[in-house]
Every structure is written in C-alpha cells, then in structure tokens.
Amino acid sequence: MNMIKPIIKNKLYIGDYNYLSGIDFIKNTITILFDCSMFYPTPRVHQLFKKHNITYIKSFTNDTDVFDIILEFKNMSSYLTNNDVILICCDCAISRSISYSIMMLIHEFQFTLKDALILMKKIQPKMSPNSGFIKQLIVFEQFALGNNSINYKDYLKMHFSK
C-alpha cells in the first residue's frame, strides 16, 4: 500500500506504517487518527498532531483471532463527531486497519458487511482480515444493522474466489 488511500473521500481514509510520509495531507485534512499499528510516533509527531488539532487514538491491536476488535472499536468510536475526517492505520493495511475501516463503514455509513468487504477489496486488493476479526465483523453487523448480509462460509468463498 502507498501511504494513505481514501475509502470515503473527505470522511474516511486508510493507511499503513508509511502514513507519516503523507504528513501534509494529515495536517490539512485529518481530524482523528486511529493508529492500530505496533509502532508509536515520536514526541515530535505527537506535538504536530496537537498543533493541528488532530485527535490521536492509539490501540495496540494484536492481529490474532482472539483480540476483541468490537470493544476496541467502541473505545475508538466514543471520540467521533459528525464532522470528523478519520485516518485508520496499521503496519500493513491488510488485517487490523481493514477490519476497523469495515466497522466504521457499517457503524457510521450503514454499509452492509458484504458491501464494505467489496469496497475494501477494491481499495486494498491484498486485504485479509484474520478469521477471528471476520467472525467479529459478522457479529458487529448483526448488532449494528439488525441482520447479516454474509456469513463466514460465504465470506471464505468471496475472499478466495477469483
């Protein structure tokens, strides 16, 4: 992945560990940066975020199938307002930031899980949330929208088909 990609322009973006190379974009656009990478920005970077009124939220999300991304998303979403422009980033933008971005699409933009997966696959073809994250996304969709657009078996067919 190259730096920062739009999911919904002027509302939601995704990035990998190179996100700081897009610092001018971040300073001028982003209001909330949700970092689920295993890295921690330097104090200088934190000062820059503070100077530009960027809310920085750190989550040391383990990319394991038992990590509770629903609870972590609940903590993250407590910072949201209607006018936020959000950047979600992790080390590779393959599993963690993809999963949180999908949750954001469901929670804030009423996407179905299936539609969110299709969109994210177009944006990041190498996406591959771990099995535990996918199972939690299915539960999250049921909770947020009241039904499921896809089950785990159908996800596997969709993800691994050409």
Per residue in 2-53, pLDDT (tens digit) is: 579 999 999 999 998 787 777 888 889 999 999 998 887 788 888 889 999 9
First and final C-alpha spacing in the chain: 20
Please say whether the beta carbons of 72 and 132 come within 8 A: no
User: What's the average model confidence in pLDDT over 78-97?
Assistant: 91
Give the pLDDT score at 40: 79
pLDDT value, residue 85: 96
Q: Is the pLDDT reported for residue 1 higher than 60?
A: no
Q: Look at the chain and report how many structural domains it folds into.
A: 1
What torsion do the CA atoms of 95, 101, 107, 111 make, to the nearest 10 degrees?
Answer: -90
Q: To the nearest whole number, what is the mean pLDDT of the chain? A: 91
CB burial class (10 A; 0-12, 13-18, 19+) of residue 108?
middle
- The residue with tokens 């947020």 is 144
pLDDT tier at 104 (50, 70, 90 boundaries)?
very high
User: What per-residue confidence (pLDDT) applies to 162?
Assistant: 59
For the domain that residue 110 is a member of, what is the CATH number?
3.90.190.10
Is the confidence at residue 151, as pLDDT, over 70?
Answer: yes
Domain that holds residue 53: 4-160
